[in-house]
Amino acid sequence: MNESRFRTLPILLITVIVIAMAPALVWIKKNQPLVLTLFEREVYNREFSYQVTVLFLALILIAIVYGLTGKEGLAYLNLKRRDGQIRPEPWIGITPKQKESWKSLGLNFAVVITTVTAIVIYFQVIHGGSLSLDLFPGILLILLFALTNAFTEEIIFRFSFVAVVNKYGGSPYLAQGLAAATFGVIHYFGTPSGIPGVLMAAFIGWILAKSMIETKGFFWALLIHFLQDVVIFTALFMK
């Protein structure tokens, strides 16, 4: 009984922390507690201020995960581990062939998920609007914000659950489920938004947590999320 409680409490703790952080991200986006004015366009300043603030939260969460898991948990931040055996999940169409691994599946998901995101964002954000984009600093900021946002959200909604659940002997499906649920719900208020945003983000949360578990690394989760965010920030900055 005591051993079971010992294994359960860290998972409950990280779940509570992430659930608390999720609405905090929405609040920070809306209220902008840190105000930095570096650019002419307000949209750039607001996003820069937001990214700096939430990056700090992500670093705090890394420290918490380290406290709960030690170096074993931090190993999931490895960017060199890009391959691994795929666990079949026929219910979402993942039925790998005998020699198929994450090297091919990760690339396939990167293309498919980015394409679907672009279609959804077009109809939710761009369709029917007048568009323009500053070549400088707009394009550079798109790449910077896409990278920092992808890193921050992967730390909060994927790395946290994967590292702690694995350390304490939980099922990989538990880590994937928590990652999908928390990431899905917060996107009701995000981009893409509403029910389509929730369903799409939940699916992506499941897949990216799966990639982290099965490769024991951060590469595919960060890359796929980065490509998505390039599409999203491009659309937001073109409005």
Count of H helices and E strands in the chain? 9, 0
- DSSP character for 159? I
Taking CA atoms, 167 is separated from 6, 53, 74, 213, in Å, by 12, 28, 11, 12
Residue 88's pLDDT is 93
Residue 238's pLDDT is 82
CA distance 13 to 148: 25
Residue 9's pLDDT is 93
Are 22 and 181 in contact, with CB atoms under 8 Å apart? Answer: no
- DSSP character for 157? I
Q: Residues 6 or more apart from 28 whose CB is under 8 A from it? A: 50, 53, 54
- Hey, CA dihedral for 89, 91, 94, 98, is it positive or negative? positive
Bridge partner list, 89: 94
Query: In the chain, where are the structural domains located?
Result: 2-238
Prior bond of 137 cis (ω within 30°): yes
Residue 4's pLDDT is 63
Residue 32's pLDDT is 93
Are 110 and 201 in contact, with CB atoms under 8 Å apart? Answer: no
CA distance 222 to 153: 9
CA distance 127 to 118: 11
Residue 177's pLDDT is 97
pLDDT digits (tens, 9 = 90+) for 8-34: 999 999 999 999 999 999 999 999 999
Q: What is the pLDDT along the chain (239 residues), one digit of tens a residue?
A: 456 666 899 999 999 999 999 999 999 999 999 999 999 999 999 999 999 999 999 999 999 999 999 999 999 999 999 999 999 999 888 899 888 999 999 999 999 999 998 888 878 766 666 566 777 888 999 999 999 999 999 999 999 999 999 999 999 999 999 999 999 998 888 767 788 888 989 999 999 999 999 999 999 999 999 999 999 999 888 86
Residue 5's pLDDT is 63
Residue corresponding to tokens 């986006």: 29
CA distance 117 to 125: 11
How many residues make up the chain in this entry?
A: 239
CA distance 222 to 239: 26
Are 228 and 204 in contact, with CB atoms under 8 Å apart? Answer: yes
